[in-house]
Amino acid sequence: MKILVTGGAGFIGSALVRHLIHHTPHAVVNVDKLTYAGNLESLAPVADDPRYAFEHRDICDAAGLADVFARHRPDAVMHLAAESHVDRSIDGPSAFIQTNMVGTYTLLEAARRHWLTLDESARPGFRFHHISTDEVYGDLADAGGLFTETTPYAPSSPYSASKAGSDHLVRAWHRTYGLPVLVTNCSNNYGPYHFPEKLIPLVILNALEGKPLPVYGQGLQIRDWLYVEDHARALLRVLEAGAPGETYNIGGHNEQRNIDVVRAICDLLETLAPQHPAGVAHYRDLITHVADRPGHDLRYAIDAGKIQRELGWTPQETFDSGLRKTVQWYLAHRDWCRNVQDGSYQRQRLGLTA
């Protein structure tokens, strides 16, 4: 297949692109606006592969998308482009509505028009795979409950509300127009190339620099953690074998309290980076509790039974094995981290937009 991936320079998108190029015969067209979260350095391992192409486009640009579809004629779309940081959505929700809802609508229409141009033999095989989040389900009130594919939506933040809206649009395009869509909702991802404002990379890098490790409230919020390369494998499995119109929850079976995640990182660093920053006796001493953010959901947990039963996918990494690999990756790729932290990674973006 030739797969059009939106947001392929982001964290999950770049993991998916690398997986597709390294482990499948498929070709990839990466469509990315290159906002602050888009980093072409994350695609350096595949950038020169003849099966990889990059298109610097905004998914809200209808004419630009029409041109991309006309030139590349993809067999499938995997839609990951999104504004995704909850704190940023609280400070500035407008960009989240524009990208996550207007952008998804614009992409759906471009894909639908392209789909209608396919001949009768190719049209049934086309897929529009929309990648979403478990945050659309809101907070789990039941301590033992799990999100299933039929859990009612109850988003809490501007980010999750905009993703919920995009999910509804995708399903409406299936119901109204017959566009063959797939929807996946995933739990918290972690792993290599994660943007350093997110919890796990932030804690790793702050600890190595002797900076405070901020924890919201008492850190009792519970999340199900999914190693990003496991997620990439799941997304490909859904694209290749999922039933059109169906939703699949993707989780790591790894529920952890935030405070325990931070402590686990500190303990790994004691072993993997025993040379402490000046003035720091133990990495755990850097843990600092800060005021909780507005509307902070206490617990998310995914029931990934459907994708396991119907498509045969299960995560390969435990939380312990995935976290160790993640810490080791950040220790081995300090240049990538520094380029993000000092903003120099954006020079490629600025060069492309000049």
- pLDDT tens profile 143-185: 678 999 999 999 988 999 999 999 999 999 999 999 999 999 9
Q: Is 96 a member of any domain? A: yes
User: 302-325: b or e for each residue (b if 16 or more CB lie within 10 Å)?
Assistant: bbbebbbeebebebebebeebbbe
In a domain, 122, yes or no: yes
DSSP for 10-54 reads: SHHHHHHHHHHHHHSS-EEEEEE---TT--GGGGTTTTT-TTEEE
CA atoms within 13 A on the CB side of 282: 7
Whether residue 148 is contained in a domain is answered as: yes
135 is catalytic: yes
| Distance in angstroms (rounded) separating the CA atoms of residues 82 and 59 | 10
- 32, 41, 58, 134: the active-site residue: 134
Domain-located, residue 220: no
| Three-class SS state of 197 | coil
Q: How many domains does the chain have?
A: 1
pLDDT tens column, 259-305: 999 999 999 999 999 999 999 999 999 999 999 878 787 888 999 99
Asked if residue 143 belongs to a domain, the reply is: yes
pLDDT at site 140: 87
pTM of the model: 0.94
Nearby residues of 27 by Cβ (< 8 Å), 6 or more positions away: 1, 2, 3, 51, 52, 53
pLDDT in tens, 86-127: 888 888 899 999 999 999 999 999 999 999 999 999 999 999
pLDDT at 353 over 60: no
- Give me the domain span that covers residue 155: 2-194+226-254+299-318
pLDDT bracket for residue 348 (50, 70, 90): low
Residue 282 covered by a domain: no
Pair 64, 39: CB distance under 8 Å: no
Phi, psi of 76 (to 5 degrees): -160, 155
DSSP-derived letter for residue 97 is: I
The count of residues in the chain is 354
CA distance 81 to 34: 10
What are the structure tokens assigned to 34, written together?
A: 């290159």
Is 109 among the catalytic positions?
no
Task: Catalytic residue, from 32, 135, 224, 255: name it.
Answer: 135
The Cβ of residue 274 has, within 10 Å, a number of other Cβ atoms equal to 8
Cβ atoms of 8 and 193 within 8 Å: the answer is no
Cβ pair 227, 322 in contact under 8 A: yes
DSSP assignment of 287-345 equals EEEEPPPTT---B--B--HHHHHHH----S--HHHHHHHHHHHHHH-HHHHHHHHTSTT
134 included as an active-site residue: yes
On whether the CB atoms of residues 165 and 98 are closer than 8 A, the answer is: no
Cα 239 to Cα 313: distance, rounded to the nearest angstrom: 12
Give the percent of the chain with pLDDT over 90.
84
* Dihedral, 99, 181, 190, 94 alpha carbons, nearest 10: 10
CATH number at residue 132: 3.40.50.720
**How far is residue 221 from each of residues 158, 291, 296, 345, measured CA to CA in Å?**
19, 13, 8, 32
207 found inside a domain: no
Mean pLDDT of all residues in 241-264: 96
Residue 92 lies in a domain: yes
Quote the tokens at residue 170: 């995708």
| Residue 91 or residue 192, greater confidence | 192
The catalytic position among 105, 137, 159, 190 is 159
